[in-house]
């Protein structure tokens, strides 16, 4: 235990399976986002100071992934001074995960709804393009870096350019160490 932070993240005691539904800890998320806002820093700025990606930083503040490292916890507290030891301890608990479902009455903010729509609409095309350009494999969802830019469209309109930078993991032949004849 370093700085009052356990070495490994505990499971959420409210559920037997910590991955069964979206995190309902709205008060914790509100407190974390308030501390972030009080710092006046962006996810990118906090990520640089904490030596983590901006996407991992966002997931931490939204309680979508656990804070695994005591060293990162210490750097996060330095970058966001309003984070308390209790906040960091809560960030270390493995969150409940799930996908928001409009049919279940979960309303999505318009940008989030459009992003899900875009991914749903173009996922097969992106998959085909990745396979054509890089070969059989997947983009890892771990250690993803995101960037956002504003660009001018062909008709002079403002456009958003979103880049997801993730590790390409090729499909490999799986050989046994023991060879049977």
If residue 163 lies in a helix (H) or strand (E), which one and from where to where?
Answer: strand 158-165
Catalytic pick among 114, 142, 147, 159: 114
The catalytic position among 140, 142, 147, 159 is: 140
Cα 115 from Cα 56, distance rounded (Å): 18
Strand duo 158-165 + 145-152: pairing? antiparallel
Per the CB < 8 A criterion, the answer to whether 16 and 96 are in contact is no
Tokens linked to 115: 């992003």
CA-to-CA separations, 53 to 22, 31, 84, 168, in angstroms, rounded: 22, 21, 21, 17
- Which domains can be identified in the chain, with CATH numbers? 1-98 (1.10.260.40), 102-170 (3.30.1160.10)
Known catalytic membership, residue 117: yes
Round to whole Å and give the CA distance between 95 and 104: 20
pLDDT at position 142, please? 82
Say what the pLDDT of residue 66 is: 93
Per the annotation, the verdict on 140 as an active-site residue is yes
Whole-model pTM: value is 0.63
Per-residue pLDDT tens digits of the chain, which is 181 residues long? 445 544 445 444 333 323 333 444 789 999 999 999 999 999 999 999 999 988 889 889 989 889 999 999 999 999 999 999 999 999 999 887 655 555 555 567 788 888 888 888 888 778 878 888 899 998 888 888 899 999 999 999 999 999 999 999 998 877 667 765 5
Token pair of 67 as six digits: 């804070």
Among 117, 142, 147, 159, which one carries the catalytic annotation?
117
Q: Are 22 and 107 in contact (CB under 8 A)?
A: no
Backbone angles phi, psi at 157, to 5 degrees: -80, 155
Write out the DSSP string of 129-160.
HHHHHH-SEEE-SSS-EEEEEEEE-TTS-EEE
Nearest to 43 by CA among 34, 55, 35: 55
Candidates 137, 147, 142; CA nearest to 168 is: 137
């Amino acid at each position: 235990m370093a700085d009052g932070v356990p070495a490994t993240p505990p499971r959420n005691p409210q559920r037997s399976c910590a991955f069964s539904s979206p995190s309902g800890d709205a008060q914790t998320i509100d407190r974390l986002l308030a501390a972030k806002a009080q710092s006046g820093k962006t996810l990118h700025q906090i990520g640089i100071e904490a030596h983590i990606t901006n996407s991992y930083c966002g997931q931490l503040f939204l309680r979508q992934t656990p804070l695994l490292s005591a060293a990162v916890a210490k750097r996060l507290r330095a970058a966001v001074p309003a984070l308390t030891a209790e906040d960091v301890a809560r960030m270390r608990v493995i969150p409940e995960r799930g996908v928001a479902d409009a049919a279940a009455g979960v309303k999505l903010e318009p940008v989030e709804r459009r992003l899900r729509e875009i991914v749903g609409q173009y996922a097969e095309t992106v998959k085909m393009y990745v396979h054509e350009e890089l070969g059989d494999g997947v983009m890892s969802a771990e250690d993803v870096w995101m960037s956002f830019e504003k660009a001018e469209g062909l008709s002079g309109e403002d456009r958003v350019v979103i880049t997801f930078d993730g590790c390409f993991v090729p499909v490999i032949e799986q050989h046994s160490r023991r060879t049977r004849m």
